[in-house]
């Protein structure tokens, strides 16, 4: 009798943990789908602010999330225009117009700053996927910037080529949109914080259009990524994601 009760209790606990884990993964899946879709074409402004100077870049971006391909090109200012970035699976390359050559970016360089900003190469080309590359657990519910949010812990899968040792992810209840992300290194030290704001309708959905990334310990600098225009789930020609397009003059 006692054995039967213990087995029933054990089964219940296993079921509860499994459902809890599935709920966490479902929240992350819906959140990533809400802000990225299966594909997207966007026009973005990037503002890099330091204590001494402010720099602005304009960027066009194409992404096919299902095929894990992305292509980005800086369009302004003039001195940076023509810098392009191509990702196909885990192969990332940058074309530098001043050198008239493309450079292969190794996996170890994905954590490096993109164009001197607080965003990394991985942030721009979105090599890693928070849905596929991490284990997810739902910790609790918390209020963040006035929003009722799910607090989720993301830890990398053993075989995942990711740059962070842990991500703490806050998703808005109701529509699952991201509000805040905290990025930790492999030693458990928080390195960066990204806040997401200015929620408004773009194309066919409401999304955060202003992402502010700040490096921990550097209060006098930050980088903002502002989405000026975006279209989701559009057909993107295969020719966009090619070395020929990357190297064109």
CATH code of the domain containing 39 = 2.50.20.10
pLDDT digits (tens, 9 = 90+) for 142-185: 999 999 999 999 999 998 878 899 999 999 999 999 999 999 99
Residue 87 lies in a domain: yes
Residue 120 lies in a domain: yes
Residue 217 lies in a domain: yes
CA pair distance 212, 150, nearest whole angstrom: 20
Residue 125 lies in a domain: yes
* Averaged pLDDT for residues 53-75: 94
Please give the model's pTM, rounded to 2 decimal places.
0.85
Residue 196 lies in a domain: yes
Residue 18 lies in a domain: no
pLDDT digits (tens, 9 = 90+) for 175-224: 999 999 999 999 999 999 999 999 999 999 999 999 999 999 988 899 99
User: 82: burial class by Cβ within 10 Å (0-12, 13-18, 19+)?
Assistant: middle
* Averaged pLDDT for residues 93-118: 87
Residue 234 lies in a domain: yes
Query: Domain containing 185: what range?
Result: 32-247
Q: Chain-centre distance of CA 232, in angstroms?
A: 16
Residue 27 lies in a domain: no
Question: Residue 2: pLDDT band by 50, 70, 90 thresholds?
Answer: low
Domain count, the chain: 1
């Amino acid at each position: 009798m006692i054995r039967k009760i213990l087995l029933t209790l054990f089964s219940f606990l296993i079921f509860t943990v499994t459902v809890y884990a599935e709920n966490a993964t479902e929240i992350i899946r819906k959140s990533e789908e809400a802000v990225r879709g299966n594909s997207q074409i966007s026009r973005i402004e990037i503002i890099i602010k330091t204590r001494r100077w402010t720099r602005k870049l304009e960027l066009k971006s194409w992404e096919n999330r299902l095929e894990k391909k992305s292509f980005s090109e800086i369009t302004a200012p003039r001195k940076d225009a023509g810098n392009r970035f191509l990702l196909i699976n885990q192969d990332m390359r940058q074309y530098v117009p001043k050198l008239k050559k493309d450079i292969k970016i190794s996996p170890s360089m994905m954590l490096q700053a993109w164009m001197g900003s607080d965003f990394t190469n991985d942030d721009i080309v979105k090599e890693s996927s928070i849905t596929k590359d991490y284990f997810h657990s739902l910790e609790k519910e918390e209020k963040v910037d006035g929003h009722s949010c799910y607090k989720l812990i993301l830890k990398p899968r053993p075989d995942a080529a990711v740059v962070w040792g842990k991500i703490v992810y806050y998703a808005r209840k109701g529509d699952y949109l991201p509000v805040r992300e905290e990025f930790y290194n492999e030693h458990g030290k928080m390195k960066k914080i990204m806040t997401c704001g200015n929620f408004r309708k773009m194309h066919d959905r409401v999304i955060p259009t202003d992402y502010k990334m700040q490096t921990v310990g550097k209060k006098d600098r930050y980088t903002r990524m502002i989405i000026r225009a975006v279209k989701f789930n559009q057909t993107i020609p295969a020719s966009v994601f090619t070395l020929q397009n990357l190297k064109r003059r």
